[in-house]
Every structure is written in C-alpha cells, then in structure tokens.
Structure 1
C-alpha cells in the first residue's frame, strides 16, 4: 500500500506550524489559561491543567538587532544623498601573522616615465640599458665604421658593447685608473686618463699613448676638421692639442696654462676659436692659431660643466643651475660676447648637448643633478619632454640621427630614440 506523503512532510516542517489555527483557539504553543478556582482559593486538583499563577505579560514585538559586522561598507550614504555602489572588497585570507602594511593605503600607480622620465609627453622610447660599470660613466662614443659602442668610467675601465645585441664584448682596464673623459675621432677611440690620453684604433686594434698631461684628463674635444685637432683639458688647468689623422697623432702642442690651478671641465670650438670652461666658473676663448687667450667670460657662479657652439651663439651650463646663451655684442668684435638669455633650472646643470628632432628642428638636451634629462626647443627653450636616469647624466652623446646616449652616475649607459 502506498504511503501518502504530504508537502509538509517532504519539507520536514513541524506539525504545529503546518496546521492552520481554527476559530479563536490559541495555537498549542500558547500558555494555558489561569485556573479560576485557584484564583478564588478553592482548586483541589493537583496537578491542575490550568495555570496556578498570574498570566505572563503578552510578548512585545520582536526587535531584530543587526550585528555591526553585517553592515555593507560599500553602501554608505554620502552627503547629498548619493550612495557608493562599489562592490565590497573581498575579505583577506585568514593569517596568524599580521602584515605590517595592512593599514597602509594601496600604493597608486607611479606616473609614466619617459624611458625613466616623469610627466611629460612620451616623445622618446627606450632602445637599450647597458649595465656593467661600477662608477659614473664619463664618456660614450661610437667610432666611424664600427658596430661597437665604447664607454669610459671612473671605475678605470673602457667597455665595448655590441650594438646589435647590447652585450658587453670586452672590458679594457686602464692602468692609469679612472677615465676622466672619452670621445671618438674617425676610427679612433680616445680616453683621457691620469697623465695621458689613450688612443685605440677600432679597426686595427692599434693602441697609442699620448703623453704630455701631468694630471687626470678631465675634458676631451675631437674636431673632425681639415687639421683634425684633438684638445685635452686637465685637472691642473692646462690645455693640450694634437693633430690627428687616420694613422694617429702627428704633433703635440701645449696651448697655454689654461685656468691656473682649476680643472678644465668643458671644451667647445666654433669659428676658429676654442672655448674652455673651468671649475672656477670662468669661460676662456683661445685663438687656436696663435695659442693665446683672447678674452675671458665671468658669468657663472660655479663650475662651467659644458659648452656648446650653436649657430652664432655660445651656450654654457653650470653647477649654479643656469644655462646661459652668449652672443657677440652689436657693432662689436665677434669675440666680444655678452649674455643674451639665461635659462634657470631648479637643479644643478650637469651637461648639455644639441641635436635635431624628427622634423629637423634644433633641440637642446639638458642634464640635471636630479637625474632628469630635459629636452627643449631652440631657440624658444620650450620644454618638449624628458628622459629619466638612475643618477645625474654626466655625459650626453648624439652620434646617430635621432638617437641619444646618456651615461649616468650609477654606471648605466642608456640609449633612447625619438618615438
């Protein structure tokens, strides 16, 4: 015989809840009425099915308490009646050890850097980051006809990098110690060291040692003109000159005593005039043919870190945080210069160089003491963008169209190009 199963049985509901109330009868779970005989003092039944006590007060309305932990933190009314409808954050996984950074707000994404730069439009893209030097890079060069990049450093080495792979293929230690400056001239790579200039032919491997300086060579300038002049400024303020060709140096000249006992930090040449910047804050102009100083400019309050000849102007940078533009005075000799414009940076200016943008417009590249390299239009000096480095970029080189090389205080060589 089949057993009939009710819906209430299938749901396993209690019988008292499954049956409806009939008439005015109270449900079984209601308290019994008070015995009227007990109230008059004449009830003789024991036990009595009626209540021998005052009826309890009727229960009040049930108040449901919401635990505070159940409040949805994502639905919080804001001033003005707006409600935040973001989904709640997932609860963290249980852990017996409290993380120290649990109470810290999540770190926001860092601003986009331009190959390490900051908030300017991304006008550059990174090509390579060459790591290996243990100290500041003082020069980056690529000789003619070579697929290798050379870098010199205060760590006393010259590193050779494969341009195709970005790998270091050779490390050449300098017996004299730190490399104060490094440039290329034709197929030659020239490294300024203590008491000499070391010359390496990138094609044949021939090595030469150009003697003459008594102290560290702190600045080099190679001019691929008809005479092939190589200039070297030293730590004791003396300037030297060689004439170079494909076979090597032809003769040697000491230009002058230079800047007394202060180091020659920067060199530039324009229209037959050699300009030298010194740690004493002065700029001297030299007539190359006669080897004499024709005038001195005293416009900076600190070391003149770089010099650049552009058009009819001379640009100079300094540790005093300025870039100054010099030009010939009106109706005066071309060698008589005055300050035409002063550009202020809020940091030391470590180096400058010039190049052209993809539209062939001239730009100035300015390295700051905070590790930022800024790019400005010329002549407006409107900022175009910037490149970030791991330390102050002591050297800026422009050897290939649209490509900029920087060597910074951390020992890194960075290669970027116009995007």
Structure 2
C-alpha cells in the first residue's frame, strides 16, 4: 500500500505547494461540492474548502469575460481540511453566522435546536434551528407533562371525568388532573401497554395476554382473558369491544348489563400476522395488520367482506372520516378509500410522505375546517388541511410520537418518549 503517495495526493488536493507542478493539478484542485452547500462532513476532505483564486496573466481576462461564471474568494484564508463541528454548526465559511444584520431574518430549518432543548443556546433569535416544538399557525402548546420512562402508547379521556389517562411501554398507567396538570396516581401493570381507549365511564388497557377494564365511576376492575401476546389496538362498535392481538386474531366481547361484566362473543381470524389497527365506521369494522393488508368486517354478521392489499408494509393506523376510510403505513403512504357502487372499497387518492407513518387522527380547527393529524417515524406530526392535503403545520417530539388523542373544545394531545403535550386550536396564549 502506497501510504506516502496517497498522502501526497491528498496534500496536493488541499492546495499544497507541489500541486501546481503536477500534470493533473487542474483535476485535483476541485472545490468540495458539499462544502459549498454548507454540509461537508468528511474529515479530512480530499477537496478544497475554499474558492479557487482568480487566474493571473493573459488568461485572466478571458476567464472573467462576458459569460464566465463569477467566483467569490473565501475571506477566511482556510485551505485545509474542515474541523469537526457540533451538530448545529454549518461548515460553510461563506455563511452569515456572526455577521447577521439586526434587520435580517434568519431562515429556520425544520429541526429543533438541541441546545435550546437543553436550555443553553446562545444564539437566541439568530439561531437557524427551531426554538419551538411546532411550526405553523392556528394552534398552540398549552402544557408538556412528563413522567413516563418509555414511549407513551395510549391517551384516553373517559366521559364525565376531570382526569386524563396515559399508558406507556414502561408498564404503567398514569392519571392526570386536567385542571392542574398534576399526576394523580401511577398504576403498575406488569406488562407493556400496547394501547388504551375509553368508552363511556370504562377505561380499557391492552397488555400482553389480557385486556384490563376499569369503571372510572365505580372503580370496578375486570380482566378480560383470551388474547395471545400483546394487545396492540382496541375499538368499540355496535355495543361490542374489539381487540387486535399479536397472533393476528381479533377478539370480541359484549357487555352484559345484568352481570355488569364483559362476555366473549367471537374470535375473528383471517390476518396472518399481528393486528395493529382497528376502526369502526359505516356499520363495518376495519382492521390493519403487519401482514400489509386491511380487512373489512360486517358489524352485524362479523364476517369478512373484503381484503385490501394495496399497502406494501405494516398498516399502522386507520381512520373513518365521513364516507372515506383513511389508512397509513410504514410504506410511507396515506391512502384514501371510497366505496364503489357494489360496496367495495377502492383507493381514490394516495398521499406520499418521506417517512413511515405511525398514527392518524382527525379533528376540526378553530374555523371548523377538517384537519388530519399524522404521526411519522421521524419524531414529528404533520397537520394537513382536508381534502387538499396542503400542509398546515408540524409538531416535533424528542422521540417517536405514537399516540394522538382529540379532546373537547379544540384540545388535542400528542404522546412521545416520556410524556405528552397538550395543544389547542385558537389564538396563542400570551406568555406571563
């Protein structure tokens, strides 16, 4: 291996004195494309981190004549390899950092400033990164409540209660006072919470091999056995409780008012892998699975009516909105389905994202316009106007946002790695 020769070649590319004597010096002395774009991360970089000087002699006039590209000399005088920088530093020496006029506006990147999160960003309003957990107008952050040790997988607001409940992979359920934001209690379940929903006074929590049910008014507690593996998703429809499980089965219970208990009603089989999303609409149950398919079931007969196979990865979430079914997947698409004359569903629109999709939720903003909330696996939630899918805003998290829930009065909630945030549509709340 020619180590010395290799070092000479790199040295010449960085503008060493022998470069001019090399026959191929014009090929070696190239300005780094990535450095010009302000994002070179190579160390050492084999190309120049400075602009080439103007040529001298009789050729300079031709080089700078009409039609010749304009070059701007680097005022730093730096010609060596770029030093390592922190994640919030731009390696472009022609940037405007430190030379920003007071009347100039900094163009923000769609990334939350790491130093701001830690409370020690020195750039203030001049920082190119966001000092906010959101982008967009019309909604504002009211509160951020931490307490869980792992990702929040469920948020529920039982009817008639002044408490909000969150479940997490840290195997706990926490109760929060909606007036003060204080944690009122922690319940250890001994298993990761895969999902959580509420229906009337009942709170349902899915953990491995069982569904826990609590009546928040009477404090009655029930354990619904039958699931095999983790319970990933639940929904209530036609007075039935449905639970999607790890083995691909959808278990069904019916509430018996006489005995004040839930009795097994059916077991729906058809998916070959875990069922991770359920929704009820138009007298049908829709199920999304890790087998990449969506199945439509009759709520009356509990028979499978149709299997949809247009997704190419896990169908993470389903949403019924008016006459449409919306589905999102790790295949980076949101699909909008509509029923044809024969009652079967067909894709009428596909929205493409740059990242895998985790969860869908719908609500109306302060002007009663429909908005789609869509969690992506890049630690963000996209907000889209419907039906145009024009972007309305973004919400950012420290980790993946797996739970989104809608509350009364324009409130909505997003849960990420340690807790959840409370948002509200309307005018921003003035800071004290």
Which of these residues, 112, 116, 138, is aligned with residue 153 of structure 2? 138
1:324-354 alpha-carbon deviations (Å, 9 max, x no partner): 001123xx312x1111001111111111111
User: In the alignment, which residue of structure 2 is the partner of 1:173?
Assistant: 188
Which of these residues, 342, 349, 353, is aligned with residue 333 of structure 1? 342
User: In the alignment, which residue of structure 2 is the partner of 1:199?
Assistant: 213
Higher helix share: 2
- Rate the CA distance shift 1:315–1:249 in 2: closer, same or farther, 3 A: farther
Q: Does residue 1:109 correspond to 2:127, yes or no?
A: yes
TM alignment of 1:108-127, pairs within 5 A: 108-112=126-130, 116-117=133-134, 120-127=135-142
Q: Does residue 1:314 correspond to 2:286, yes or no?
A: no
Q: What SS does the aligned partner of 1:302 have?
A: coil
User: In the alignment, which residue of structure 1 is the partner of 2:73?
Assistant: none
Give the Cα separation in 2 of the matches to 1:248 and 1:333: 40
- Runs of 4+ aligned structure 1 residues displaced above 6 Å come to none
Whether the 8 Å CA contact 2:253–2:265 is kept in 1: the answer is yes
1:269-296 alpha-carbon deviations (Å, 9 max, x no partner): 1111100000111000111222211110
1:5-60 alpha-carbon deviations (Å, 9 max, x no partner): xxxxxxxxxxxxxxxxxxxxxxxxxxxxxxxxxxxxxxxxxxxxxxxxxxxxxxxx
- Rate the CA distance shift 1:111–1:308 in 2: closer, same or farther, 3 A: same
Give the Cα separation in 2 of the matches to 1:124 and 1:148: 22
Q: CA deviation at 1:245?
A: 7.2
1:290-320 alpha-carbon deviations (Å, 9 max, x no partner): 2211110001111001001111111000011
User: In the alignment, which residue of structure 1 is the partner of 2:252?
Assistant: 241
Q: CA deviation at 1:248?
A: 4.5
- TM-score, length of structure 2 as denominator length: 0.67
Q: Does residue 1:413 correspond to 2:409, yes or no?
A: no
- Rate the CA distance shift 1:314–1:248 in 2: closer, same or farther, 3 A: farther
TM alignment of 1:12-411, pairs within 5 A: 108-112=126-130, 116-117=133-134, 120-175=135-190, 177-223=191-237, 227-244=238-255, 248-260=260-272, 262-329=273-340, 332-334=341-343, 336-408=344-416, 410-411=417-418
Whether the 8 Å CA contact 1:141–1:399 is kept in 2: the answer is no
Q: CA deviation at 1:110?
A: 4.3
Which has more radius of gyration?
1
Whether the 8 Å CA contact 2:236–2:280 is kept in 1: the answer is no
Give the Cα separation in 2 of the matches to 1:249 and 1:399: 28
Whether the 8 Å CA contact 1:113–1:388 is kept in 2: the answer is no
- TM-score, length of structure 1 as denominator length: 0.70
Give the Cα separation in 2 of the matches to 1:106 and 1:412: 28
1:216-258 alpha-carbon deviations (Å, 9 max, x no partner): 11111134xxx42211000110001122377854432233114
- Rate the CA distance shift 1:316–1:174 in 2: closer, same or farther, 3 A: same
The CA RMSD over aligned residues, in Å, is 2.2
User: In the alignment, which residue of structure 2 is the partner of 1:15?
Assistant: none
Whether the 8 Å CA contact 1:323–1:344 is kept in 2: the answer is yes
Give the Cα separation in 1 of the matches to 2:387 and 2:131: 26
Give the Cα separation in 2 of the matches to 1:389 and 1:244: 38
Number of residues of Structure 1 aligned to a counterpart in Structure 2 = 307
Whether the 8 Å CA contact 1:352–1:396 is kept in 2: the answer is yes
User: In the alignment, which residue of structure 2 is the partner of 1:66?
Assistant: none
Q: CA deviation at 1:215?
A: 1.6
Q: CA deviation at 1:112?
A: 4.3
